[in-house]
Amino acid sequence: MKYIKKNYGWMIITILAILPMIPLLNMVLEGGKENLDMLYHISGEFAIRWMTAVLTCTPFFILFGINNLFVRQAMGIATAVWSFLHFIIFIVAEGFMETFTQVNYIAGFIAVLILIPLFFTSNRKSMKRLKVKWKKLQSFAYAAIFLSLLHVAILEKTWLIYAIIVGVGFIIRLPIIKDQFISRRQNRKSTN
C-alpha cells in the first residue's frame, strides 16, 4: 500500500499513456496502408499532447503550488515513447530517407533525437549521478517542443492550440509574472 501511495502519479500517467495504444495495436494487426497512415498521425498527435502536458507542469506549480517531479518524469517518458512510436511508424510507412525530404520532417527528427538522452536520463539514478547537469540536460526539452511545434505547424495540423498552451506556460514562467503568482499564493496561505 505504501508503494501505491508513493507512486500513484506514475501509475496514473502510465495507464493514461498506454490505454490509447490498445486500439492502435488492433490497427497494426489489421494492416493496410490507410491504417499505417492513420497510425503515424495519431501517434504524432499523442506525442505533441504529452509534450505540451509536460511543459505545463511548471506553470501549474507556479499557479497552484502543486509539484510532483516524478509525475513530470513519467509524462516525459510518455512523451518520448509516443514520439519514438510516431517516428518508427513514419519510417515503416514512408521510409527513413523520407525524413530528410521536408523541413517539417527534419524538425521532427531532430526533436526525436533530442528526446533520446532525455528519455534515458529520466530516472532517479540519473538525477543523483548527473546532479546539476541533469537539469541542464532536461532543459533541452524546450528545443524539442519548439521543433515539434514547427513540425506540426508546417503540416498545418492543430498546432495553434499547443502553441498557445506552451506560450502561456512560458509567459507564466517569466520571473516578474511567476513572482506575482507565488507571492499571491503565499499571501492567501498566510491569511487562512
Residue 62 in contact with residue 182, Cβ under 8 Å? yes
Question: Exposed/middle/buried for 164, CB within 10 Å: 0-12, 13-18, 19+?
Answer: exposed
**pLDDT at residue 190 in the model:** 74
**pLDDT at residue 81 in the model:** 93
**pLDDT at residue 111 in the model:** 95
How many helices and strands (H and E) does the chain possess?
A: 11, 0
pTM (predicted TM-score):
0.84
pLDDT in tens, the chain (192 residues): 666 666 777 788 888 888 888 887 777 777 777 777 788 888 888 999 899 988 888 888 888 877 766 788 888 999 999 999 999 999 988 899 999 999 999 999 999 999 999 999 988 888 889 888 988 988 899 899 999 988 888 877 677 888 888 889 889 888 888 888 888 887 777 776
**pLDDT at residue 7 in the model:** 73
**pLDDT at residue 78 in the model:** 92
